[in-house]
Amino acid sequence: MIDSLLNARIAMMGIGTVATALAVQFVLRPAILDSFRQRIFAIRRDAFLFVANGVIRRDDPEYIATQAYLNRLLRYAERLMFLRLVAGMVVIEMHADRMKEFPFSIPKSPDAEVSQLLHRIRQRATERVFWHVIETSPLAWLALAIFLPVGIAKKVKRSDGVKRSLVNTMGRLVPQELVERDVTIMAASEEACLSPAA
């Protein structure tokens, strides 16, 4: 009798574990990806509105690079993972000299105010990347559990708030420029695979 109850409980735990894993994989993860993409679409719309209102020229090199960055975030949203960011950070540091050249660097607009607006747009998108990684990666949870108490204590004292403190702490771990370059590398590697052999 006890064995059959134990077996039933083990079976129910197994079924519950499988059901939870399926729900996370096929319901929760797609919902988080859709939410991330919607937020990037909203940021991209703000950039379009600056162009529509004549604040930014359509042919501005920094605007073109910013649009490419936002479009790549939308396209590669499911590939944005904590381990990829950390590995990208290591690779980019190893090849720091080469990564300062085009296409890995964002060109600057001739207008300083426009450059500041576009930088803020990219910064908002990168903050969404950090929040997305925090939401989806248990390894990011572990890293933040180690670094977060000190980071939050410093930031909350300056009244930044807990959510902003999370993003700022993640931003110190993985700087914005490295995220921009990693997304550019993802696109370049896929384009190289899709181009016909010479």
Is residue 144 in some structural domain? yes
Contacts of residue 169, defined as CB under 8 A and 6 or more positions apart, other chains included, come to: 144, 147, 148, 151, 152, 155
Please name the residues in contact with 39: beta carbons below 8 A apart, sequence gap of 6 or more: 128
pLDDT digits (tens, 9 = 90+) for 105-156: 678 888 889 999 999 999 899 888 888 888 888 887 787 777 767 666 665 5
**Whether residue 104 has pLDDT greater than 90:** no
Q: What is the pTM of this model?
A: 0.66
Q: How many domains does the chain have?
A: 1
Report pLDDT digits (tens) over 5-63: 888 888 888 898 888 877 777 778 888 889 999 999 999 999 999 999 999 999 999 99
Asked whether residue 17 is assigned to any structural domain, the reply reads no
> Do the domain assignments include residue 91?
yes
Which of 69, 79, 82, 186 has the alpha carbon at shortest distance from 135?
A: 82
- Beta carbons of 50 and 109 less than 8 angstroms apart: no
Question: Is residue 172 assigned to a domain?
Answer: yes
Does residue 122 contact residue 180 with C-beta atoms inside 8 Å? Answer: yes
The answer to whether residue 2 sits within a structural domain is: no
Question: 160: domain range?
Answer: 32-194
Give domain status of residue 16, yes or no: no
